[in-house]
Structure 1
Amino acid sequence: WLNDVPAYAGIAAVDAYIGATELSESAGMAYGGAHVIEALVRGEKIELKATSYGTDCYPRKEIQTLISLNDLNQAYLFNPRNAYQNYSVAVNSSNRTIYTYMGTLLPNLGNATYSTAGELSPLINDPYYRTIGIGTRIFLGGGIGYVAWEGTQHNPNQNRNANGIPTSSAGTLALIGDLKQMNHQYLRAALFDRYGVSMYVGVGIPIPILDEEILKQAAISNREINATVYDYSVPKRSKPNYGQVTYAELRSGSITINNKTTPTAPLSSLYEARQIAGTLKEWINEGQFSLTEPVQPLPTDLKVNSLEIK
């Protein structure tokens, strides 16, 4: 346990993996793995508690002590699903408030929430993954990281608009980086009311302009990016939708659904996205960050399979 949050230790001896969404055994939904990770990055000491059956190699059966990030030989941040290539716009048509991973959704289409930074989102600026692939060096949480693999739920075979942009969730990235390089400005715990704990992770990916097509995609604007509005009050895998809106409309502060004006709110920070882009540009100009060619492209022919109960 790290600060009373369970960590999985069924790997190499004295190694452990803590999930950002894992909840505290004492504080429940008020504190989780993401808070532990942020505390480590902030330089705070956390409580380590562990038990074991004991062996000749490792006779100790329990330990309770304080540790900090500096005490750890290695600390990796591995995120199996990041940087969604577009995502849904979430609304609630029911007559009660619902609590979701898209935030609190007010009744009767009272608000709409959306994710990604639109025209600054990496996989929207490279929609066919021509420059982003396995091995790509990136900005991750304030330090340098890498694309390790395609992310979980990577689903590139989605409907795309005339500009090649998927109109709902498509590609994802699995990312890895050195936690010791990271900065709590770009790695923050998040609590979604009555849903659970998550983590805000700052990601920046350089896109080399190799030809006119890449330039055109990298220069995409919010008015050229569409997202589909889904009704999250329907507890089914396939949810009804209210059509599409552009990111320019979402960024305006409201959209129109069924002749009703619905206020919008982003889950990602445009301010932080601009900060990340500016920092990454600075690193490149100063020679602190060099671009890498992917060692393998991301798959473009995968689809997400749903679990069928048998």
Structure 2
Amino acid sequence: MKKWVYVVIAAVFMLSILGVSDTGSAAKETWVSEKPSATSFRLKDLTAVITVKIKNNDNNVQYFKIGQVYQGSLSENSTIKWLIQWTNPAAVKMVKSRTPELGGDYGWKVKPGETKTVSFGLRATGDMGEIPSYIVNVESDNSNYWPLINEPGLMSSWFMPNEIEVLNPSLDLRYWKGTFGFTLINIDEEKVSGIVRAPIAPANSKLVYSSPKAFVDDDLFVSTQVAAWDVTMDPETSQRFVYTYEWPAKVSGGNGSTSGGGYYPPGTLQGTTGSSSVPGAKTGAPYGPLVIGVLVTAAAVAYTKIIR
């Protein structure tokens, strides 16, 4: 049985890989490496407010907690570290911690059959939170092109909101909503223009709000609708950006508006339901065939972790 399970995981994983480019994205652009010290736009004050609804499908009590370290598509060996600002309802401290240096791990208990909704606020610390920084594409091409070269702008990173279901199949993520904010700074002595993408974008989710209003880049990552802005900034000025995603949703289009701020019409996206009929911890799934559900979800998460 074990051998059969491994074979199916490998098959699903390979099919996922074959559907994308060797960089793990459906990007139409080639990213060219640049010197971080020569980039005029920097990010700081990255924040996140997350709301989740999770059901415990087990007969025993289960726990889930807030993850305080995020890798994503960052520069090599770099992470975003989060400080917990508040929780609602109050979280309890866990018996063990992955990140004691960030104050320890906090989370919630879910009773058997219970559905719990929680919200919490996070603030990035370190390079993304206190030092102006920006996300780079690790797989940027070092080749030299001449006489013209493409300028893709600033990179984004992405994750799957329902990864909790792979960590614990008893926990079924029914709903996820995330509002992110960051401050963009022009550290140059001249006016600078370029494309700036959301530092963090959830896969299989819909962009429901942004300010200023973003255009949608749905070619950067598979099944990911990345908020992007065409930005022009005067010397040594800054601007705050806020955007909100909801999960689950199937991405099926974009919105070209780039001015002002506001909501995105439902017609630009195709919604899905958080079914509880195929198997479903930090950031769930239903029970049709339990084994197949778990395998597909596991392959999807493995896919995100390896290629992003």
TM-score by length of 1: 0.25
Larger radius of gyration: 1
Higher strand share: 2
